[in-house]
Amino acid sequence: MTDFQTLGLSPNLCAALSRANFTQPTPIQAQAIPLALAGHDVLGLAQTGTGKTLAFGLPLIDHLLAKPGKPAPKAANSLILAPTRELVNQIAEGLRLLTEDTRLRIAVVVGGQSINRQIGMLARGCDILVATPGRLIDLMERQAVDLGAVRHLVLDEADQMLDLGFIHALRRIAPRLGTPRQTMLFSATMPKQMEELSRAYLTDPRRVQVSPPGKAADKITQSVHFIDKPEKPARLREILSRDPEALTLVFARTKHGAEKLMKGLVADGYNAASIHGNKSQGQRDRAIKAFREGTITTLVATDVAARGIDIPGVAYVVNYDLPEVPDNYVHRIGRTARAGREGEAIALCAPDETDLLAQIEKLMKIEVPVASGTRPSTAQAQRRKPPQPRNRGRSGAAKPQAGKPAAPKGRRPRRPRAA
């Protein structure tokens, strides 16, 4: 008898868990699964890497297996929304592992892939539809999917969906769903807008929180190098050379920066690839597959991958550029120390990023240990902040400087012509 059976899951599902080597639930699973099995709406808060997919996936599968019959053409019986293609694929992969010997049909729809192929797949109907909001809207507009039979809705990484502006898509999707329904919302953080979202879409939810927001996994060793920006490429190569066979995930702030960094590493003989918004879905899938299998040992990514990569073998996460949103730092370093392993997170902090580091440390309520360089004093950090605009009136508009006439109202200043 596995510990999962004590949570109330069906024997067949427990047997599937045992075959997949899942024997002991994580804290978020142990608390959320019984509540979801009882039919409650669930608001789950937990850091990345804590097993949220099974926390909502197992009770969802259990409910669907208990209902006889097949889904109608174009219909979906349950819907899981996630913000990125990588996360959608990760969720579907985890659920298929537990449903391969059942009648349940799982469909995946994301952007960057043939919409005609997805229309054909949905024509058969599905028990579980895992989707990104944008592509689901496209399919709804083509009348390729019927959401009226949906009785279970899951919003995974809901805070990132808000960050990416998917709240408008959610407002278009929700009225199409069936009622009554069970809704489960899972997130790593709980900003004010998330509370408003939960009030709008959840009914008398049971709240489950297993770790404080902004807290990294206990087995992650963190450090920061205070260096000048031109020194970052050499320091990164030094870090990668210490353990060449280890899987290392490197985060850059921009798509252009990630691609440039990857090409530089490849030119220097490092086994590297990149994933970011300018890559096609096929390119991203191949890069992640190669990284998972170890044929690529260094993966350079933007925050599009911060919550979409679940690879237990990632040994190092390097923040080549610090994120502008402090929460993203927690999500980034959460790509290591997964499935009970240990991991190391290394940050490279340039002088103009010290304020970003301070915000991260405030969120996490820790001071990241210094590996090299000198932590700037508060006064130095203040001097390095970008200058604030001055001479603004009550309306916020800039006042003309002395000796410079203001531009005439109703006319824009003429731009100089390019040479």
Domain boundaries, the chain: 3-209, 220-383
Fold match flag (3-209 vs 220-383)? yes
Fold exhibited by the domain 3-209: Rossmann fold (3.40.50)
Cα 409 from Cα 411, distance rounded (Å): 5
Report which secondary-structure segment, H or E, holds 134: helix 133-141
Residue type, 229: K
pLDDT tens string 347-360:
999 999 999 999 99
Cα 67 from Cα 229, distance rounded (Å): 58
Task: Indicate whether this model's pTM tops 0.85.
Answer: no
Identify the weakest region by mean pLDDT among 228-237, 305-314, 328-337, 409-418: 409-418
Given a cut of 60, whether residue 55 has pLDDT beyond it is: yes
Query: pLDDT: is 180 or 50 the higher one?
Result: 180
Give the confidence band of 381 by pLDDT, cuts at 50, 70, 90.
low
Say whether 162 sits in a helix, a strand or coil.
helix
Token pair 């911060």 in the structure block, residue: 306
**How many Cα neighbours within 13 Å face the side chain of 25?**
26
Report the 10 Å Cβ neighbour count for 233.
15
Counting residues of the chain whose pLDDT is more than 90, the rounded percentage is 61
Q: How confident is the model over 185-204, as a mean pLDDT?
A: 85
pLDDT tens string 109-159:
999 889 999 999 999 999 999 999 999 999 999 999 999 999 999 999 888
Cα 227 from Cα 3, distance rounded (Å): 48
Given a cut of 60, whether residue 179 has pLDDT beyond it is: yes
CATH superfamily of 220-383: P-loop containing nucleotide triphosphate hydrolases (3.40.50.300)
